[in-house]
Amino acid sequence: MTVQELPGAAAYRPTPPPAWKPLTDPAPLLPDPEPYRVLGTDAAAEADPQLLLRLYAELVRGRRYNAQATALTKQGRLAVYPSSTGQEACEIAAALVLEERDWLFPSYRDTLAAVARGLDPVDALTLLRGDRHTGYDPREHRIAPLCTPLATQLPHAVGLAHAARLKGDDVVALAMVGDGGTSEGDFHEALNFAAVWRAPVVFLVQNNGFAISVPLAKQTAAPSLAHKAVGYGMPGRLVDGNDAAAMHQVLSEAVARARSGGGPTLVEAVTYRMDAHTNADDATRYRGNSEVEAWRAHDPVQLLERELTGRGLLGDEGIAEAREAAERMAAQLRDRMNADPVLDPMDLFAHVYAEQTTQLREQAARLRVELDAEHDQNGTDDRGAGR
Ligand SMILES: Cc1ncc(C[n+]2csc(CCOP(=O)(O)OP(=O)(O)O)c2C)c(N)n1
């Protein structure tokens, strides 16, 4: 007996499913096919000359800061430094597009963004100096701690931005992450929550080509990292990360969109890490010199300098002035970093819990006794030596 021969079979008609339509139209969310550029294009004529000059001064300063911090690792004054040389346009633009009331959520590579936002250049290096704690009060400049665990800063940024919105505070959070960080679960969770809640967040992925030695092609099979935005229902923007004017424009638009209730944006900045991952890495083991040289020809400082000199907005004097200011900053950084920090061992217990646990209170009390005893002994010895 076939199905058609079963009693009542003729009456059976499958119910058509309800009409399906996408939750969000994906077309407007798609990134441009090519990274967006301003410098060297007709769009550059629209850019504010004062802004371009400010970006230039900050880029020159940032380049010098990276060089000085790397030198300090060689002199034993810094434990480690992840240089952002080649990525200065991303770093500086990220800092300049935010208002004071906004929050920056940097990764370990984003010291320049933190300094450009107003953080003391030495305080920004506390952690990398090997000292405990973050080295600064995150609330002072609204800069979350420079984050070493990959991508954990992203859900934090979403939580803060969402909470601010619920409270009616006008706050945008800009969170920075590397291309490797986009493979972390935290990246997925942060983008998903941000889009569902329409949280005022801007995600800036600096695609610098590598996660230590892992090239992007081994990191993802996506058409671009900006395309990942579409899967979460937010726009993805693809930008030339070495073009400071393009970075400033695209991030400003994303911040404005977030501020006006339009929700999050994922910005992928296509850039290149010119130095090794950190001073502890040997980049020659996984990439060729010709690749590095090709990117050197697309250097963010040079790109902007050429635009400004070509338009008569910057001359030899202006270039020298920017370099001299950067040298003064580097000299101060050197002097201050060469002074041994005065550390209080009791500080180990500070800034961790709002209210200490019983065990930590006991440990702190024991350390206090030990330190007092040592102080008394040294005091006695000193007096003894002086007689
Ligand atoms: C959760 C976690 N896993 C692994 C590491 C070790 N680690 C440190 S840096 C790094 C590469 C990250 O590359 P990317 O996100 O592209 O950032 P970049 O260093 O290029 O700025 C890895 C795997 C880490 N810090 N945190």
Digit-coded pLDDT (tens) for 242-259 = 999 999 999 999 999 999
pTM: 0.92
Ramachandran sector of residue 118 (left: φ over 0; alpha: ψ -120 to 50; beta: rest): left
Q: Is the CB of 242 under 6 A from ligand 1?
A: no
Q: Is 277 a known active-site residue?
A: yes
CA of 14 to the centre of ligand 1 (A): 52
Q: Residue 8 — very low, low, confident or very high, per pLDDT cuts 50/70/90? A: low
Q: Is 286 a known active-site residue?
A: yes
Which ligand 1 atom sits nearest the alpha carbon of residue 87? 21
Q: Is the CB of 212 under 6 A from ligand 1?
A: yes
- CA-wise closest residue to 274 among 283, 265, 261, 266: 283
**Residue 135: helix, strand or coil by DSSP?**
coil
Q: Is the CB of 350 under 6 A from ligand 1?
A: no
Q: Residue 133 — very low, low, confident or very high, per pLDDT cuts 50/70/90? A: confident
Q: Residue 386 — very low, low, confident or very high, per pLDDT cuts 50/70/90? A: very low
Residues 120-146: what's their mean pLDDT? 92
Residues 3-16: what's their mean pLDDT? 70
Determine which residue's CA is closest to atom 13 belonging to ligand 1: 211
Q: Residue 7 — very low, low, confident or very high, per pLDDT cuts 50/70/90? A: low
The highest-level CATH class for domain 27-277+288-337 is alpha beta
Q: What is the DSSP letter of 104?
A: E
Catalytic annotation, pick one of 188, 198, 259, 286: 286
Helices H / strands E in the chain, number of each: 13, 7
Give the separation between CA 342 and CA 295, rounded to whole angstroms. 42
**All structural domains of the chain with their residue ranges:** 27-277+288-337, 345-378
Q: What are the tens digits of pLDDT across the range 332-346?
A: 999 999 998 888 889
Q: What are the tens digits of pLDDT across the range 263-309?
A: 999 999 999 999 999 999 999 999 999 999 999 999 999 999 999 99
